[in-house]
Amino acid sequence: MSVEHNTREIEDGVVTDLRERMTYGSYLGLDSLLASQHPRSRPEHHDEMLFIIQHQTTELWLKLVIHELDDARRLLAADDLGAALKRIARVKHIQEVLTQQWSVLATLTPTEYAQFRGALEGASGFQSAQYRMVEFALGNKHERMLQVFESSPAEHAALAAELERPSLYDEFLRLLARHGHDVPAEVLERDVTKAHVYTESLVPVLQRIYEGAAEPGAPDWRAYETCEELVDLEDNFQLWRFRHLRTVTRTIGRKTGTGGSSGVDFLARALDLTFFPELYAVRTRIGT
């Protein structure tokens, strides 16, 4: 290193002739990835690039979340709880990134957004097939949502397949049943194309798991750990929803959404949805 010129010399072993070699850019497909930002405002507004990249980045992270949740369910079905927990842990870190990046979009002021919002026409995050797949994978199924994707056969097919597949919670509860826990038949045999709803008879099963795992190494410790990981997933999801709500509120107030929704009120109602209701209900029972 040349201190005098404040430069770092390229080491002799560093490959500099990249002809006919796989490169960083070709491996990541950067030519197409970095050419996928197409502002629609005319004249092009400076801040539209932020809006596009924020949402494209979210979709990339959602693709990884789907990848991890797919494998977590496969592993749960194969009784490989340890590996499944690793997948879930990764999803939790991705959720943190997704929540934190709302702060970048929040730098977009109402005046700035208003100057290019019309260029979106009817495009809306409500139309994100990957977001719906994540919701379905976690158990918030809604068959009517498929109507939104009828114009996109590939997205419609993917979401329809996800509708038919057991959720992460379904697979965990099936694992508990295989390992001797008295999970009610109504839970194990439920129609997995419907959203999971609160089942009172499941709460005592979870209560026994929590109360039987007072010390690490107890027989129910891994089941207890998984319960808490699922609670983390839901808490993170709700934090993401809330941060979304607050970012929209500060940017467009109570305007109607670009996709035709009521906007803030529509987003606020999502905060009432829950993936794992019994894992919250059990907290009232423990110690009583």
Instruction: Tell whether 185 is covered by a domain.
Output: yes
Binding residues for heme: 244
Instruction: Tell whether 211 is covered by a domain.
Output: yes
Write the CATH number for 268: 1.20.58.480
* Residue 59 DSSP SS3: helix
* Residue 92 DSSP SS3: helix
Instruction: Tell whether 3 is covered by a domain.
Output: no
Residue 2 pLDDT: 53
As a whole number of Å, the CA-based R_g of the chain is: 23
Q: Tens of pLDDT along the chain (288 residues)?
A: 556 688 889 888 888 888 999 999 999 999 999 999 999 999 999 999 999 999 999 999 999 999 999 999 999 999 999 999 999 999 999 999 999 999 999 999 999 999 999 999 999 999 999 999 999 999 999 999 999 999 999 999 999 999 999 999 999 999 999 999 999 999 999 999 999 999 999 999 999 999 998 777 788 899 999 999 999 999 999 999 999 999 999 999 999 888 888 888 888 888 889 999 999 999 999 988
Q: How far apart are CA 44 and CA 116, in angstroms?
A: 8
Instruction: Tell whether 24 is covered by a domain.
Output: no
Instruction: Tell whether 135 is covered by a domain.
Output: no
The token pair that represents 70 in the structure block? 């797919």
Instruction: Tell whether 23 is covered by a domain.
Output: no
**Domain housing 67:** 50-127+167-253+261-283
Instruction: Tell whether 109 is covered by a domain.
Output: yes
Contact between 154 and 129 (Cβ < 8 Å): no
Binding residues: 51-55, 113, 117, 244, 258
Q: Which amino acid is at 240?
A: W
- Beta bridge mates, 2: 7
The token pair that represents 50 in the structure block? 């932020």
Distance linking the first and last C-alpha atoms of the chain: 67
Q: How far apart are CA 144 and CA 29, in angstroms?
A: 35
Buried/exposed 93-109: b ≥16 CB within 10 Å, e otherwise: eebeebbebbeebeebe
Domains identified in the chain, total number: 1
pTM for the full predicted model: 0.93
Binding residues for substrate: 51-55, 113, 117, 258
Contact between 241 and 158 (Cβ < 8 Å): no
